[in-house]
Amino acid sequence: MLSLAPLQVALFGETPVKKEAAEPISSQLPSPAAPVKQPLKPKLIDLQKVFQSAPTIYSILILMSVGSLAIWLYTLTTFRDKDISPKQFKEELRALLESAQYERAKDLCSGKKNLLASLVKTGLASRSHGPQMMIDAMKSEGKRASTALWQRLSLLNDIFIVAPMLGLLGTVVGMFYAFYDINRSIESIHAFFDGLGIAVGTTVGGLIVAILSMFFYTTLKYRLIRTLSRVENEALSLSALIESQVQK
- Tens of pLDDT, residues 124-182: 888 777 778 888 888 888 888 888 888 889 999 999 999 999 999 888 887 777 676 55
pLDDT at residue number 156 = 92
Report the distance separating Cα 34 and Cα 37, nearest Å.
9
Task: Report, in angstroms and rounded to the nearest whole number, the Rg of the chain calculated over CA atoms.
Answer: 42
Q: Based on the number of CB atoms within 10 Å of its own CB, is 153 exposed (0-12), middle (13-18) or buried (19 or more)?
A: middle
As a dihedral over the C-alpha atoms of residue 92, residue 96, residue 102, residue 103, rounded to 10 degrees, the angle is -60
pTM of this prediction?
0.68
Question: How confident is the model over 72-109, as pLDDT tens digits?
Answer: 999 888 887 777 878 888 888 888 888 878 888 888 88
Q: Are 227 and 81 in contact (CB under 8 A)?
A: yes
What is the residue extent of each domain of the chain?
A: 51-247
